[in-house]
Every structure is written in structure tokens, then in C-alpha cells.
Amino acid sequence: MDSTTGSRKLTGFKFAGTLVPPGEKREIYLKVAETFLSTSQAIPVTVVHGAEPGPVGFVTAAVHGDEINGTDIVRRLILELDPLLLKGTLIAVPVVNIPGFLEQSRYLPYHRDLNRFFPGKKKGNNADRIAHKVFSEIIQKCDFGIDLHTASHGRLNLPHIRGDLGKARVRELSRAFGSTVIVNSAGLEGSLRRSATDSGVPTILFEAGETGKFSRSVSLAGLRGVLSVLEAMGMWKVSEKGRRKPPFQVIVQQSEWIRTEKGGILDLGIRPGDVVYQDDIIGEILNPFGRTVTELHSPLTGIVLGISRAPLTIPGAGVVHIARLKKTLARVERSVRPRKRAKVAGKRGKRG
């Protein structure tokens, strides 16, 4: 990856009216809205301006207010980076959706999903205005970006990367992060990563863990991934101790949600990272008497990206997210330890 792309002269970096000298960090609040009390509502931003010129990147977390594990990743990142050793500039935002974060809700007031309103509008609704402020003051100042997310409420995700791999620089960022699974996806219209990429700022999304919780393993995986991307951009040198090569890395073109046909008590026999095969029994639905109402079979062969954590289900609920594996199946099978393969109740079906 070309580490000179978007390089700046060795001068102060101006952000939200504050000039950050070379080789320093600054904690800055960026006003994005106002409260019912007529007071400012601002998001915390740390600008790490390196002692040497280089690209400008952003790392954002908690665009969905209850997806807080990214906040912990950004916290660790800020502590890790020494601006005297950094080339270029990093804009780190631990919480984008302040109202949702305070309420521990995915949404902004009026039940709006901020990640559907980018790049925003200066004179639009409340979500439009916040998105516009974030996009114009942060995203458009950068050469690349990483957006940190977890699974939505009631679900648990395997750490993986999502990005529009039709874009060469997004593909390079995705591989550099070092996750085992990369999902090729342009992203939903109005999402931060799609809007950023479409505007010329290649951006990837890291999905891992679950809402409302910190996971040390997820935080460390996320931190290593971000630092690996910074190294690929020529901004940072990862220590040998911190350098880890994934056991495998596959690009997934297709994934599928398994949805229930019956209501009842959900009993899954798999977890994120398991390999499942077509026709495997991966769980069952029980009634309150403990009898099996129906078995859940995998319609495809692949690796489990996410599962429902809800103990109860109704017809149509998505309970297991599986990424299809074809040519890369053997590579994954060689790398995944037996205990991480799906423990199924029934006989293994054909390996579609």
C-alpha cells in the first residue's frame, strides 16, 4: 500500500479550531448537536499528530450507541500510540453516537439509526445533521478509515472484516487488518463505510462481539488489527511481540441467515467460528415441556459468523449467520482446531 498517499507537510494539524503540533496528542470535543437544555452535545475526539508526515486516517466506534466494544478498542489505541513515533495523523473517535451511548441504545432520538444517514445533510433531520458534521469534519479530512462495530442486540459475532473488495485500496486495508474472515460487501446505503468509500476515502468495518459488553479478546484483536493497518499504511511499526499472522484468511462472497419456522425455546449447538456442513443439525427448538418442536439444519457448508443469544424465538427470527465456503473450505478445515468445529446432535451431512 502506498504510504505516501495523502501525506502532509510537517506542520500543525487543525481540527475543530484546535491546532495540534507535530508529535503531540490533543483531546478535543466536536459539537454535533444540542440537548433539550440548550446546551452543546459534543463527541470526544483524540487527534494523534505524528512527528513525521504521512497519511491521515480515522477510527470510529459506537456509531450505534450500544455497540461499546469499539470504544474500548479506541481507548487502548490512544494509549498505545506515541505521536513521536507516528508518521501521519490519526483521528480517533471512541463514541460517535453520544445520545445512544448515554441511553445504551442503538438509536438516536426519534428512533433514527445514525448509520443510515451518511453523508448527511446540513439542514436535514437530527440524524442528517450529526452525520453531516461527522462526515465533513472527520471523514473528509482523511485518506482511509476503520469503523468498529459489534453484532446487534441479542446476537454475537465472530471477529471479521466487511468491505467493498471491488475497490483495490479497501481490499488492501481488509487484508492488512489480519482477520480470518473478510466479507465482500459494499454496505448499506447511508452507512458510514459505504458513504466514505464512495466519496474516495476507502473504509473497512470491523464486526466482533456483542452489544453492551467489553470483551478482552475482541478488544485485543481489534487493537492488533488497527495497528496492522497503520503499519501497512507506513504510519506505525508493530513490535515483533504484537505481530500475529492469522491461521487462515478467506474472502467470503456469500452468507446466509438461518431463520426459524417455529416459535419456542432456542437451543443452539454451535458458536461463532465453528465450521458447519450442509444438512448438519445445528440446534433445535423446544416447547416448555422440553419436547423438540423442530430441528435446525444448516442449508449450506461454511463458517459461523454470528448467532442469536436470545433463549426464545418466534417464526422468522434470524438465529445463525453462516458464510459460505467452497474452494476455501479445505484451507479453513486445516486451520480450525477440532474443538472449534460444530458439535452437532445429528449425523454430519454431505459437504456441499
Tell me: the pLDDT tens digits for 67-77?
999 999 999 99
Taking residues 343-348, what's their average pLDDT?
48
pLDDT, tens digit, 9 for 90 and up, residues 99-154: 999 999 999 999 999 999 999 999 999 999 999 999 999 999 999 999 999 999 99
Give the per-residue pLDDT at 345.
47
Structural domains for the chain: 13-232 (3.40.630.10), 254-340 (2.40.50.100)
pLDDT reported for residue 256: 96
The Cα–Cα gap between 318 and 260 comes to 7
| Across 152-175, average pLDDT | 98
Q: Return the pLDDT at 336.
A: 83
The predicted structure's pLDDT at residue 241: 78
Give per-residue burial for 219-246: e unless 16+ CB within 10 Å, then b: bebbbbbbbbbbbbbbbbeeeeeeeeee
The tally of CA atoms less than 13 A away on the side-chain side of residue 85 is: 10
Q: Give the pLDDT score at 349.
A: 40
Could you report the per-residue pLDDT of 3-13, keeping only the tens digit for each?
444 444 589 99
Q: Is pLDDT of 200 > 70?
A: yes
According to the model, what pLDDT value does residue 189 have? 97
Q: What is the structure's pLDDT at 89?
A: 98
pLDDT of res. 312:
97
- 16-53: per-residue pLDDT in tens? 999 999 999 999 999 999 999 999 999 999 999 999 99
Which whole number is the average pLDDT over 238-259? 91
In tens, the pLDDT along 323-335 reads 999 999 999 999 8
The yes-or-no verdict on residue 301 having pLDDT over 70 is yes
The single-letter code of the amino acid at 335 is S
Cell numbers representing residue 218 in the block: 475482541
Q: What is the DSSP string of 208-250?
A: EE-TT---HHHHHHHHHHHHHHHHHTTS----TTT----S--E
Closest CA to 250 of 134, 333, 346: 333
What is the pLDDT, as a whole number, of residue 337?
65
Q: Quick one: which of 15, 10, 82 has its CA closest to 52?
A: 10
How many percent of the chain have pLDDT more than 90?
A: 89
Question: The cell 449467520 sits on which residue?
Answer: 321
User: Is residue 352's pLDDT more than 50?
Assistant: no
- pLDDT, position 343: 56
- Which candidate, 113, 110, 212, places its Cα nearest to that of 153? 212
Split at pLDDT 50, 70, 90, the class of 243 is confident
pLDDT for the residue numbered 273:
96
Kindly indicate the confidence band of residue 166, based on its pLDDT and cuts at 50, 70 and 90.
very high
